[in-house]
């Protein structure tokens, strides 16, 4: 019998996952486990509320999983639309990366003199518009009666922030101001025609009170 024992071959191949694949598998497994656990919570919460609302049907675990799946798809679509709208409002400031967007690097701020001159030029165009429209100003940045290019920032992708519904020489309220991309101190156009430099804290406080 001893002579019938076959020798064992050492060094047999063993199929294993790479470190990256194993880490991804663990992440996916954790996500699925949390997802299924949350489905139990949704099922319990839904059926608990159904006790107070007779017309609200009760759901089982399978329907709770389907409800979470559909809700996740709706949220994905909404977030994708928000990313696209952000790119439209600040063309060139965002670059596409994968399925989303991120800020483009290397944006150089124009000098203060040019920033002020640009806002003064916009103010002159707004005042001419007001004279031709009985003191009324454009309804918004995308008002067809006022070219959208007039709202463009100097040398930086994006547009000025504009508070509509105000009139020429209507007190000293904020009319137009530079967005946060321009830094901590921003130029502000008031409704009396003056152009001032405000700190971000002051700008936020005035906007909150108005």
Q: DSSP of 156-174, one letter per residue?
A: SSSB-EE--S-BTT-SS-E
Judged by DSSP in three states, 103 sits in strand
- Ranges of residues in the chain with a pLDDT under 50 are 1-3
Burial 165-195 (b: 16+ CB within 10 A, else e): ebebeeeeebbbbbbeebeeebbbbbbeeeb
pLDDT for 1: 47
pLDDT for 85: 67
pLDDT for 123: 93
Residues 39, 5: Cα–Cα separation, whole Å: 56
- Residue 128: CB atoms within 10 Å: 11
pLDDT for 99: 55
Residues 34, 32: Cα–Cα separation, whole Å: 5
Percent of the chain at pLDDT exceeding 90: 22
Chain Cα centroid distance, residue 31: 25
The H-or-E segment that residue 124 falls in is helix 112-132
User: Which residues lie across from 97 on neighbouring strands?
Assistant: 100
- Residue 138: CB atoms within 10 Å: 21
pLDDT for 181: 83
- HSE-CB of 126 using CA atoms within 13 angstroms: 32
User: Which residues lie across from 115 on neighbouring strands?
Assistant: none
- Asked if residues 97 and 76 have their Cβ atoms less than 8 Å apart, the reply is no
Residues 170, 136: Cα–Cα separation, whole Å: 10
pLDDT for 5: 52
């Amino acid at each position: 019998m001893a002579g019938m024992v076959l020798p064992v071959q050492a060094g047999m191949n063993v199929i294993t996952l790479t470190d990256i694949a194993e880490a991804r598998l663990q992440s996916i497994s954790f996500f699925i486990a949390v997802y299924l656990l949350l489905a139990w919570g949704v099922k319990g919460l839904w059926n608990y509320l159904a006790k107070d609302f007779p017309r609200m049907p009760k759901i089982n675990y399978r329907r709770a999983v389907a409800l979470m799946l559909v809700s996740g798809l709706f949220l994905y679509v909404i977030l994708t639309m928000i990313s696209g709208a952000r790119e439209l409002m600040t063309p060139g400031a965002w670059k596409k990366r994968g399925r989303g967007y991120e800020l483009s690097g290397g944006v150089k701020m124009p000098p203060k003199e040019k920033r002020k001159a640009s806002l003064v030029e916009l103010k002159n165009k707004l005042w001419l518009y007001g004279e031709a429209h009985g003191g009324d100003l454009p309804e918004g940045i995308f008002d067809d009666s006022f070219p959208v290019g007039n709202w463009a920032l100097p040398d930086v992708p994006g547009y000025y922030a504009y508070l509509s519904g105000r009139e020429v020489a209507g007190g000293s309220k904020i009319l137009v101001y530079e967005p946060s991309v321009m830094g901590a101190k921003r130029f502000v156009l008031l409704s009396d025609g003056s152009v001032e430099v405000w700190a971000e804290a002051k700008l936020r406080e005035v906007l909150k009170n108005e």
